[in-house]
Amino acid sequence: MDVLDVARWQFAITTVYHFLMVPLTIGLSIVVAVMQTAWVRTGKAHYLAMTKFWGKLMLVNFAMGVVTGIVQEFQFGMTWSAYSRFVGDVFGAPLAMEGIVAFMVESTFLGLWIFGWERLPKRVHLACLWAASLASTASAYFILSANSWMQHPVGIELVDGRPRLTSIWAVLTNNTAIAAFTHTVSGGFAVAGTFLVGISAWHLWKKHKLSAVDDPDRKVWSASLRLGAWIGMVAFAAVALTGDTQGKLMFQQQPMKMAAAEALCHTEAPASFSIFAYGDVSRPDCENVKSITVPALLSFLAHNDFSTEVKGVQDLTTLYEQKYGHNYPVDPSLGALSGQPIDYVPDLPVTYWGFRFMIGFGAIAAGAALLALWLTRRGRVPRTKWFPRLALLSIATPFLANSFGWIFTEMGRQPFVVVPNPTGVDGVFMYTAQAVSPGVSAGQVLTSLIALTVVYGVLAVVEVFLLVRYAKAGVAGVMPPPGDGDADQKKPDDDVLAFAY
């Protein structure tokens, strides 16, 4: 077993798992801050109940995100030390900013919010949540700036074979970073909106069956469902717009990635957009591949007109070979790949289907949000059993869309871990095969991979258990009715987040 393959599997598993937490934390923290703002400004009880209920779910997810995020940064030193040495002069600044914002500002103000209920003045307490929410978003920006530098290196010079940072401002204002940030944050709000719709629809249906029409909790679920549906619709529109911008940049900066995403083997003018392909898309000559297409749409998505040429995988391979060579350098750091031919084509099935799963799951989630808006128009309450079931199932779809988008982004840039900038400094790129720590063995990385996978599996069970438990508890779980005998008999250990409320 090759150490490079095991290291890549380890990074993929830990990153995708961590990225399940990040979008929900970003989206839900700001949504909860908006709910609390509405309560502070209006004094209406249902806004307070919404803040406390959704805030508790946000805290569970935030805690898991912190635990799994720490491992990400440890990996750079443990498994990818050669990569860390190469990019260290550039990555140090944004990662330090992320650490300061995430672990100091975000954690401090979130702690003040948790312990500040009925201890801090209302507006100060609210300001703590806004500070934590905005710090969470800023933290994402710094991480995405670092990742975007790998996708499109800027703000550097080449000194002794390594990039040296010349402008942190160029790194932070990299157009790739801005496009990735807006797209990711929009995806975070899409996750939060679908999360609100799914759980609210289930509670609303349950209230419809079990309680009186004037149950005050109905207002909590109706308002949450409508808010989630509107957030979802706006977020999905933003995802589409920012995705289009990001796609156009990728056609300029990483044309091979986008050609792979379309399984576009041969150059076309105008180029058609593939909706669905059948046959073996793994072959770079596209032999025996049939595709249902929209004529000229790919030209528009790439260049904003319906006639411009879009280069295919085979022509791009020739261009890459002319610029970067046919073979890997003869270098011990490349291991078995030293001196071997370079395959510049990413895994076509992964990139092609990853791109479509990203769009498809996002479209399903958008459809669920639109359906929720329609069924709750003019104060109506859905009374059918299929809708809450559909809404609950739809919670998973934006998570899947985000995960497939991340897989597509990372897998599509292979064989590079730092992709060459077509208009940047010559020589600033790194093959993935060079990035692995030289002193580790496949067995050592496999051991840590198995250990992390087991631990992450346990954490996944714990998170799902806690989220389901608190979601099922509903409003009574955070605001027990006065004189509730069961609530009076509860022990402090029954609710690990009771200190917050």
Q: What is the pLDDT of residue 482?
A: 63
Phi-psi region at 286: left, alpha or beta (left = phi > 0; alpha = psi -120 to 50): left
Higher pLDDT, 212 or 322: 322
Helix (H, G, I), strand (E, B) or coil at 455: helix
Virtual CA dihedral for 261, 83, 140, 56, nearest 10 degrees?
100
Q: What is the pLDDT of residue 493?
A: 47
Model confidence pLDDT, tens digit, residues 164-187? 999 999 999 999 999 999 999 999
Say if 450 falls within a structural domain.
yes
Tokens of 427: 């020589």
Model confidence pLDDT, tens digit, residues 463-496? 899 999 999 988 887 776 665 544 445 554 455 5
Say if 443 falls within a structural domain.
yes
Residue 245 Cα distances to 190, 240, 241, 251, 463, angstroms: 18, 9, 7, 10, 35
Do residues 125 and 113 lie in contact, with contact meaning Cβ atoms separated by under 8 Å?
Answer: yes
Residue 116 Cα distances to 32, 122, 285, angstroms: 15, 9, 62
Say if 424 falls within a structural domain.
yes
Report the alpha-carbon distance of residue 313 to residue 302 in Å, rounded: 15
Instruction: Say if residue 227's pLDDT is above 50.
Output: yes
Percent of the chain with pLDDT over 70: 94
Residue 423 Cα distances to 178, 342, 419, 428, 460, angstroms: 18, 22, 12, 11, 43
Q: What is the pLDDT of residue 210?
A: 55
DSSP secondary structure of 238-251: HHHHHHHHHHHHHH
Please give the average per-residue pLDDT across 391-409, as a whole number. 93
Does the bond joining 346 to the residue before it have cis omega, within 30 degrees of 0? no
Question: What band does 69 get if pLDDT is binned at 50, 70 and 90?
Answer: confident
Range of the domain at 336: 3-260+320-477
Number of domains within the chain: 1
Q: What is the pLDDT of residue 417?
A: 94
Query: DSSP character for 296?
Result: T
Say if 500 falls within a structural domain.
no
Q: What is the mean pLDDT of the chain?
A: 88
Say if 268 falls within a structural domain.
no
Report the alpha-carbon distance of residue 487 to residue 494 in Å, rounded: 10
pLDDT-wise least confident of 91-95, 414-418, 434-438, 488-492? 488-492
Say if 104 falls within a structural domain.
yes
Say if 310 falls within a structural domain.
no
Q: What is the pLDDT of residue 484?
A: 52
Backbone angles phi, psi at 278, to 5 degrees: -135, 145
Say if 233 falls within a structural domain.
yes
Report the alpha-carbon distance of residue 295 to residue 306 in Å, rounded: 9
Question: What band does 154 get if pLDDT is binned at 50, 70 and 90?
Answer: very high
